[in-house]
Chain A
Amino acid sequence: MTGATIATPPIKWRIRGLSWVTWRQHRSAIAGFIGLLVLLAIFLVVNGLSMHSGYDKIGLNSCGNPYGQNCANQLEAFQNDYQKWAQMVPRVFAFLPGVIGVFIGAPLVARELETGTFRFAWTQGSNRIQWVVTKLVLLSVVICAVCLAFSALFAWWFGPWHSLVGRMASGQTYETEGIVFTARALFGFTLGALLGTVIGRTVPAMAATAAAWLAVVWPSVVFLRQLIMKPIVASGNTVQNIATAWTVSHGVQNSSGHHLSQSEMNDLFTQARSDGINSPPTFDRWLAQHHYTEWTSYEPNSRFWHFQIVESACYVVVALLVAGATVWWLRRRIV
């Protein structure tokens, strides 16, 4: 340290340049987005405190294996009191990353194109590439930070259920816990920015973003996720930890291990009916007598982070490609 550096007056930290422009232009959108998540967070805290204390009060924490004989009553009481929210809330929250894309991503460039203000913004000294890259990067950072915090709170809220249902279940807590939620928000944001840039009008861009986000996310949940790691296939109905796993598929197999198709099952039903079988429990017994057994394919709860990391990485790569396409389009395509 020299004397000169000590003598320099303290630098007052201030946002300047394109960062200020981004802040000033998008602070209300960011405030709206954070406001929405804060409202949801308040619900999670209030409901979560009650659920955590309910879990202890009912005694699920002290009766041993929650699916054991000792816990049967406690489990039923807990499910009666809290299952409704625990099932509904994760399903709704799964759409939040798309909402971010629709309301923050789509208008980012579309509004400028629609109102003509791009002719003002892009002729004041900063070039449009710096302009869009700054906005994409800064808003992405904010979105990621807020989403990660929200996912962490969500994980706490869902905590009492972890030992009961795990967190792998598709379309449930898996979508909001961990990091997939954030990666999907990032994807939604860049997707909105690209569609807004290409379409150039705010409302159509928002609609297109919602549709495109669903068109990517829904098949990835239903079809692609199980490709991350081959599901474990087990036969019989005594699969270990099945309650906390994601059951991908299940069915009936014959004595040589062949999984029966739907039409083969229909044939069996007909055959059983001619034997006078007409209720599910008797049908199960009939199947066992004829050497058919059940099989289940599942992704165990222990794979949660592996799945989260792989799936998130895919979304982040796609988000980067989409962001690159946005910059390219802005540079090449716009009049």
Chain B
Amino acid sequence: MNVIETHGLGKRYRRSWALRDCTLAIPAGRVVALVGPNGAGKTTLLHLAVGLTKQSEGEIAVLGGETPGSDKALGRVGFVAQDTPLYSYLSVADTLRLVANLSGSLDEAHARERLSALNIPMDRKVGQLSGGQRSQVALAVALARHPRLLILDEPVARLDPLARHEFMGALMAAVAEEEISVLLSSHVVSELERVCDYLVVLADGRVQVIGAVEDLLETHKVLTGPIEQADDIADTMAVVSDTRASRSARLLLRTNDRELLPAGWQAECTNLEEIVLAYLRVPHVSALPGPSGQQDHVEERSA
């Protein structure tokens, strides 16, 4: 089952397209990072997935065919919106009661347990909590509804490094306990490798990269070698980024192990952060699954 499946999905606000021609399928049981620069359409995609927005064109389904925003989908998709909007005049306890009454199914004990472990007082007004505590309340509320799919929009963007670490830790522990799929958007790339096992890069309202983190790490290599041969390699291989110093060149490329390494060149593994940053720098280069599902092409797209 795919937790999210879109086909030619597009959303237009007045004259400009926030998201366009977005086709993707995210399998269940993953923790998916949705990455992209500001304005790439991340929030739009997430709002479409939770039914806060209606698409202008194309199709989107969640949890194997449900329409986002339908009663069935609303009951099984948890959402933590950007900046974790909660009613600041409600106490934590009243926030739980509010959600219990809004959703009709809240595992209140589950939420209370989680919040008391974090020393968040139940009688405190949400408006008086720190940013980290607020996010934890929003997460606890979302998890206590036992969603099958949990969607988080920039959950850690406004948190300090410690709170960010704690939040991600809490999220990961919850994912390990229950079988939920998670889709979270972020522009903090450094956190993602620890947490996510699937990556979607959006650029300019389109999908630029999609795939399992494991596969991406396997198929992307950094080659370093003499600068004179760099052009030859760039012509024959799928180079994502190309950094040249006075004598040596450092190329991040998409390859598979069968390809021969040119003489005088060294291949190294790379990390997710470098791959993501490399793609973000060149929004016109995409890495999408080919027709056979093999990821062996870097495609140039006319801008």
User: Which A residues contact B (CB, under 8 angstroms)?
Assistant: 16-18, 20-21, 24-25, 115-127, 131, 332, 335
Q: Is B79 an interface residue (CB 8 A)?
A: yes
Decide yes or no: A24 and B90 within 8 Å by CB, A116-B81, A119-B52, A123-B79 being known contacts: yes
* A335 & B145 in contact (Cβ 8 Å cutoff): no
Decide yes or no: A21 and B102 within 8 Å by CB, A117-B87, A123-B51 being known contacts: yes
* A125 & B75 in contact (Cβ 8 Å cutoff): yes
Q: Mark B81-114, 1 if CB is under 8 A from A, else 0.
A: 1110111101000100111011111000000000
Q: Is B229 an interface residue (CB 8 A)?
A: no
* Most A C-beta atoms less than 10 A away, residue of B53, B104, B141: B104
Query: In the complex, how many residue pairs between chain A and chain B have their CB atoms under 8 Å apart?
Result: 78
C-alpha spacing A140/B29, complex, angstroms: 46
Q: Is B77 an interface residue (CB 8 A)?
A: yes
Enumerate chain A residues within 8 angstroms of B104, measured Cβ to Cβ.
17, 125-126
Interface size on B, residues (CB 8 A): 34
**Residue of chain B at shortest CB distance from A117:** B85
Enumerate chain B residues within 8 angstroms of A332, measured Cβ to Cβ.
54
Decide yes or no: A124 and B99 within 8 Å by CB, A117-B86, A119-B81 being known contacts: yes
**Chain A binding surface SS class:** helix
Decide yes or no: A123 and B94 within 8 Å by CB, A17-B104, A18-B101, A335-B53 being known contacts: no
C-alpha spacing A124/B75, complex, angstroms: 7
Enumerate chain B residues within 8 angstroms of A122, measured Cβ to Cβ.
51-52
Q: Is B235 an interface residue (CB 8 A)?
A: no
Q: Out of A17, A25, A335, which one reaches B87, CB within 8 Å?
A: A25
C-alpha spacing A123/B98, complex, angstroms: 12
C-alpha spacing A117/B85, complex, angstroms: 5
Enumerate chain A residues within 8 angstroms of B51, measured Cβ to Cβ.
122-123, 127
**Residue of chain A at shortest CB distance from B86:** A120
C-alpha spacing A21/B97, complex, angstroms: 9
Decide yes or no: A126 and B81 within 8 Å by CB, A18-B101, A18-B102, A120-B86 being known contacts: no
A-B contact pairs, 26 of them (CB 8 A): A18-B101, A18-B102, A24-B90, A25-B87, A115-B85, A116-B85, A117-B86, A118-B85, A119-B52, A119-B81, A120-B81, A120-B86, A120-B138, A121-B102, A122-B52, A123-B52, A123-B78, A124-B74, A124-B145, A125-B74, A125-B103, A125-B145, A126-B74, A126-B102, A126-B103, A335-B52
Q: Mark B46-69, 1 if CB is under 8 A from A, else 0.
A: 010011111000000000000001
Q: Is B71 an interface residue (CB 8 A)?
A: yes
Enumerate chain A residues within 8 angstroms of B82, measured Cβ to Cβ.
116, 119
Q: Out of A17, A120, A335, which one reaches B47, CB within 8 Å?
A: A335
* B74 & A123 in contact (Cβ 8 Å cutoff): yes
Min distance, Cβ A330 to any Cβ of chain B, angstroms? 12
Decide yes or no: A124 and B87 within 8 Å by CB, A20-B97, A24-B98 being known contacts: no
Q: Out of B13, B85, B86, B98, which one reaches A21, CB within 8 Å?
A: B98
Decide yes or no: A24 and B97 within 8 Å by CB, A117-B85, A124-B102, A125-B102 being known contacts: yes
C-alpha spacing A21/B90, complex, angstroms: 11
